[in-house]
Amino acid sequence: MESYFTVFKDESKLDINYLPPNLSHRETQLNLLTKFFQYATEVPGKMAQRALIVGKVGTGKTALAKIFGLRLMQRAQEKGISLRYVHVNCRERKGSLFMILQQVILDFYPHFPKRGYSSEELLQMLLQMLDEKNMFIILVLDELEALIQNEGADSIYKLTRIQESRLKAPQRLSLVCIIRELDCLDALDESTKSTLQRNIIFLEEYTKNQLRDILNSRVALAFRNGVVDEEVVNLIAEQAEKEHGNARYAIELLWRAGKYADASGLREVSPDCVRRASSSVYPTVQKDAVFSLELHEKLFLLGVARRFKQTNATYITMGEAEEAYYIVCEEYGEKPRGHTQLWKYVNNLSATDIIGAKVSEGGVRGKTTLIELPFIPAEELERELSRRLKVQ
């Protein structure tokens, strides 16, 4: 009996909570953040810094902050400075300053009573504790939107101003705020806003090539040798780029594609595994569009689906699609449409994202149109279309 084969070497490296040792394409931002907080390991207590990290979903904000935190704590330790990096997710703390501060304090005193104080009192107590222990803290408020939405400007105001009342005492609390869009700060008063905006770090959406690098390092960590082809990585990177350069989406797709490969007993992750994965990550909006196609468009698409079912390739050529279409026409007793008409179908189908179409960059056969099936798994598409075509 053959033993169970898995394409994975270490699946946990694809877990959303896994923190990679390095963040490719974020070195500049990491250096900048480190520079903003250089004082913390050189002249701690001299100042309280604020920094803002801004970037869309999956651009690496949380990971960047955590890696920065780990490195900073290490440096502080080497220098004998009591510096603590505390990462709090405001959404998980229900956008409540009270709950946020409670988490911070519980980090120091696990038996701290959970009731009986206001958030102002908690804040004062926190500073007092830091004074007593001669400690410094860098508090990261991740998904700050939740706190602004829930409590308005008040809480941020309190946090940014708390130390102004103790100018002579050492400055112990620094802040790193993380948001997706700058306009969420519009709800704040001008001076709080400008305090936060003094040191901004923008994380741009990842490009396809950057996503490819990120994916490749995860492939090396999580998969067995040679089970994920460069073409598959490319396909995932392409789709994640369309999802606004979202690295989380890319990694999730990679993981799911691996799961589909395992479930199908494959020895490698095929492009069709990626298609199946992407239709499960995002419900197929395209499915509805398929049903409103005209008869010959459906026949053409059925040909494309069948062709993809037979091959392991990411793309098929226009010529292959046409051949497959002729066979389908024969089966359904339909007279095939001409080349020009098929072109229009390709344009229409790619405009609605049911298929992807691009011109190949040359090669032995010269330029040719390549068709891909980015979202719907070939088998599922074939099944749906055959069912529809029968009742017509």
Query: Binding marks (x or -) toward ligand ATP, 197..236, rule CB under 6 A?
Result: -----------------x----------------------
The CB-side HSE value for 318 (13 A sphere, CA atoms) comes to 19
Find which of ligand ATP, Mg ion, none residue 59 binds, CB within 5 to 8 Å per kind: ligand ATP
Q: For the packed helices 61-78 and 27-36, what is the interaxial angle rounded to 10 degrees?
A: 50
| CB burial of residue 227 (10 Å; 0-12, 13-18, 19+) | buried
Q: Taking the complex as a whole, how short is the minimal distance between the CB of residue 107 and ligand ATP, in angstroms?
A: 21
Is residue 246 within the footprint of Mg ion (CB under 5 A)?
no
Pick the piece of the chain touching ligand ATP (CB under 6 A) from 15-23, 70-78, 148-156, 277-285.
15-23
Cα-Cα-Cα-Cα dihedral of 199, 164, 133, 196, to 10°? -20
The secondary structure of residue 234, as a DSSP letter, is H
Is residue 25 within the footprint of ligand ATP (CB under 6 A)?
yes
CA distance 44 to 81: 8
Pick the piece of the chain touching Mg ion (CB under 5 A) from 25-33, 60-68, 144-152, 377-385.
60-68
Pick the piece of the chain touching ligand ATP (CB under 6 A) from 56-64, 95-103, 313-321, 381-389.
56-64
CA distance 300 to 342: 8
Q: In what order do the strands lie in the sheet with 83-89?
A: 83-89, 136-142, 173-179, 50-55, 200-203
Site for ligand ATP in 233-262 (CB under 6 A): 247-248, 251
CA distance 17 to 340: 50
Q: Taking the complex as a whole, how short is the minimal distance between the CB of residue 87 and ligand ATP, in angstroms?
A: 11
Say which residue the tokens 């396809």 belong to.
208
**Shorter beta-carbon distance to ligand ATP: residue 120 or 181:** 181
Let me know how long the chain is: 392
| CA 297 to mean position of chain CA atoms | 34
Is residue 58 within the footprint of ligand ATP (CB under 6 A)?
yes
**Total residues in contact with ligand ATP, by rule CB under 6 A:** 19
Q: Taking the complex as a whole, how short is the minimal distance between the CB of residue 17 and ligand ATP, in angstroms?
A: 8
Query: Binding marks (x or -) toward ligand ATP, 78..97, rule CB under 6 A?
Result: --------------------
Q: Which of 55, 245, 374, 377 binds ligand ATP (CB under 6 A)?
A: 55
265 Cβ contact list (under 8 Å, min separation 6): 5
The CB-side HSE value for 362 (13 A sphere, CA atoms) comes to 0
Pick the piece of the chain touching ligand ATP (CB under 6 A) from 4-12, 59-67, 303-311, 364-372.
59-67
Is residue 62 within the footprint of Mg ion (CB under 5 A)?
yes
Q: Taking the complex as a whole, how short is the minimal distance between the CB of residue 94 and Mg ion, in angstroms?
A: 17
Q: Taking the complex as a whole, how short is the minimal distance between the CB of residue 196 and ligand ATP, in angstroms?
A: 17
